[in-house]
Amino acid sequence: MKLSISKAEWLYVIKCTLGAAICFWLSDLFPQYPLFWSVISVVLVVSPENDQKLAYIRIEGNIMGSAIGLLVYFLPFPTIILLCLGVSLTTIAGTLLNLKMSVRTAVAATIIVLYQEKLVNNWEVALQRVACVVVGCIVGFIITWVFIRLEKATGKKKDANHVGTE
């Protein structure tokens, strides 16, 4: 068992917490939209490595997954079939498009869009969830960008291979 947390790991905790707080604030600011779903996208986009390329890859996955989820949503099947089909198609698309690093993120976005409570099952909710995924991606990207700029400003760029080993 590890008994200490490195500086990079603390920064990751701060980024995830900041992303969750921003999305919570946005959901309070716009209560008519289910922006709490954007928290999932934020934590999928930010990384301990503070890597902008990795953020792009994860945003790509979020967009792909939410788009597939939205397309599958309109098929005339029960939710469980839509969910299984969406997960399968997202995984296949990610593999065929050689986006293996973003498949898990894409599947999460697909689930966000497709999973709807039995009482609230309409296309507007699915579209709002796509928007929530995008909002989460934007917030996650901004957080990553700010932390990269702070890292450059302090002149302390870490080698990604040493993250978590301090």
State residue 156's pLDDT score. 63
Report, as ranges of residue numbers, the positions in the chain whose pLDDT lies below 70. Answer: 117-121, 156-166
Alpha-carbon distances, residue 114 vs 8, 117, 152, 166 (angstroms): 34, 10, 40, 41
Query: pLDDT value at position 126?
Result: 83
Q: What is the largest CA-CA distance in the chain?
A: 55
Q: Can you give the pLDDT at residue 164?
A: 44
pLDDT per position as a tens digit, 116-146: 755 556 778 888 889 999 999 999 999 999 9
CA–CA separation, 77 and 106 (whole Å) = 21
Residue 85's nearest CA partner among 125, 113, 50 is 113
Token pair of 161 as six digits: 């291979």
Q: So what's the pLDDT on residue 99?
A: 87
pLDDT of residue 161: 46
